[in-house]
């Protein structure tokens, strides 16, 4: 007997979850809904879903699993809508939102409909967006946080994990408040800081236009996450307001401490400040998938010679290795330049490194 799944929101995450479920469950029929009808048509043509629907109501009543894969604000609206829509008895409902406390408060109101809502947050993403970028392996080895209400029985949590086992993700179960605290520290807060750093450089550029050229290298790299969706991060700031305010106040104190060290020229305190940061950062797991996307970058020394970029990409293509991005870091006449190649995974990076080394290119991975 076929099981039915409804994916609400057919972007990168929703599409990838659909593919992961299809890969693992042969007896599943997946419906898809999105306010963008082109995304629905594309998802169906790519066989990400089996059938597109024009409204949530069309498939909600028969769905054994409903996945809300939309921005946080829209997820709240959909949970409100589901309170007035017929749902299948015993159905599971989950979401993929980056904040959980307020979403869980909405989800609890569905309990009187004989369904179970369990919050979720797959901590994986890509530099690409849209259903055309969806991959079944997007979540492989990534952390997938599940935030069930305390009243949710363990078998229901296990049932959701069984639905999602095709993701090959690492499931973590925690309270919504705990999730928002930890996600705030290692994801939400860094995005705010990265955006503020970029804005600071932008303001200086009005007086010193050359700063943009100087920021094109390392500064641009360390602020990559500032290129994320402004709409998404606006919503996250609003929905994780309390945690972010606490973190920002703590950070302001840290900056005041550093300001005092610099003003007094306290060399020992400054050394300890940087040394402690270096030690902790160097001990963090390298290239493991966490809340922030890992960047699998390989640097390649290349001569100033016509055709060198096509030679590098040709070597990788011949070996069947895909790159997600390529950037010229430095190239000046008569000296070696540097290419930065970005890969989808650590295994692709290592295979690319070996292939290029076999063709006598010097390569290195930044730590």
**DSSP states along 130-190:** SGGG--TTTTTT-EEEEEE-TTS-HHHHHHHHHHTGGG--EEEE--HHHHHHHHIIIIIHH
- The residue-averaged pLDDT of 142-164 equals 93
Res 308: pLDDT: 85
In this predicted structure, what is the pLDDT of residue 128?
Answer: 67
- Predicted local confidence at residue 127, as pLDDT: 58
Res 343: pLDDT: 84
The helix/strand/coil state of 121 is strand
pLDDT band at 334 (very low <50, low <70, confident <90, very high): very low
Q: How many CB atoms lie within 10 A of CB 248?
A: 14
Handedness of CA 126, 132, 134, 135 (dihedral sign): negative
Domains detected in the chain: 3-174 (3.40.50.720), 179-283 (1.10.3660.10), 296-364 (3.30.2130.10)
**Confidence (pTM):** 0.74
Under 8 Å between Cβ of 16 and 46: no
Q: List Cβ neighbours of 281 (8 Å cut-off, separation of 6 or more).
A: none
Between 305 and 106, the higher pLDDT residue: 106
343 beta partners: 296
> Would you say 96 and 65 are in contact if contact means Cβ atoms under 8 Å apart?
no
Q: What is the pLDDT of residue 175?
A: 93
pLDDT of 67 above 50? yes
Predicted confidence (pLDDT) per residue in 157-178, tens digit? 999 999 999 999 999 999 999 9
CA–CA separation, 337 vs 305, rounded Å?
A: 10
Tell whether the model's pLDDT for residue 60 goes beyond 90.
yes
C-alpha 181, offset from chain centre: 17
The CA distance from 148 to 171, in Å, is: 12
Strands (E) located in the chain: 3-8, 28-33, 51-52, 65-68, 92-95, 116-122, 143-148, 170-173, 296-302, 325-330, 337-343, 362-364
- DSSP-derived 3-state class of residue 54: coil
Mean pLDDT of 45-62: 95
Query: How many angstroms separate the CA atoms of 211 and 208, rounded?
Result: 6
For 269-298, what is the mean pLDDT? Answer: 78
Q: Are 114 and 88 in contact (CB under 8 A)?
A: no
**Which residues, in sequence order, are CB contacts of 123 under 8 Å at separation 6+?**
142, 143, 144, 145, 187, 289, 290, 291
pLDDT band at 226 (very low <50, low <70, confident <90, very high): confident
């Amino acid at each position: 007997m076929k099981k039915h799944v409804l994916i609400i929101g057919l972007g990168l995450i929703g599409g990838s979850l659909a593919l992961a479920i299809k890969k693992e469950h042969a007896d599943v029929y997946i419906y898809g809904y999105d306010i963008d009808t082109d995304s629905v048509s594309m998802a169906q043509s790519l066989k990400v879903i089996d059938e597109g629907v024009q409204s949530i109501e069309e498939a909600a009543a028969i769905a054994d699993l409903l996945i809300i894969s939309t921005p946080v604000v829209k997820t709240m609206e959909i949970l409100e809508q589901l309170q007035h829509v017929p749902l299948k008895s015993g159905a599971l409902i989950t979401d993929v939102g980056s904040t959980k406390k307020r979403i869980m408060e909405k989800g609890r109101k569905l309990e009187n409909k004989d369904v179970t809502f369990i919050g979720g947050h797959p901590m994986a993403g890509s530099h690409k967006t849209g259903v055309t970028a969806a991959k079944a392996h997007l979540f492989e080895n990534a952390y997938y946080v599940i935030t069930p209400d305390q009243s949710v029985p363990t078998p229901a949590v296990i049932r959701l994990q069984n639905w999602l086992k095709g993701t090959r993700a690492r499931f973590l179960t925690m309270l919504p408040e705990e999730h928002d605290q930890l996600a705030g520290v290692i994801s939400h807060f860094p995005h705010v800081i990265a955006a503020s750093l970029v804005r600071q450089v932008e303001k200086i550029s009005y007086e010193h236009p050359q700063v943009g050229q100087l920021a094109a290298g390392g500064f641009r790299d360390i602020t990559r996450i500032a290129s994320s969706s402004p709409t998404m991060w606006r919503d996250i700031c609003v929905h994780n307001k309390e945690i972010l305010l606490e973190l920002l106040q703590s950070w302001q104190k840290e900056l005041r401490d550093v300001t005092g060290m610099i003003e007094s020229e306290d060399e020992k305190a400054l050394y300890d400040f940087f040394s402690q940061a270096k030690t902790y950062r160097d001990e963090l797991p390298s290239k493991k998938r966490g809340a922030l996307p890992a960047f699998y970058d390989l640097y390649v020394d290349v001569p100033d010679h016509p055709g060198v970029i096509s030679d590098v990409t040709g070597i990788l293509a011949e070996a069947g290795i895909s790159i997600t991005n390529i950037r010229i870091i430095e190239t000046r006449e008569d000296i070696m330049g540097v290419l930065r190649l970005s890969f989808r995974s650590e295994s692709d990076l290592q295979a690319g490194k070996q292939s290029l080394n076999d063709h006598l290119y010097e390569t290195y991975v930044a730590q």
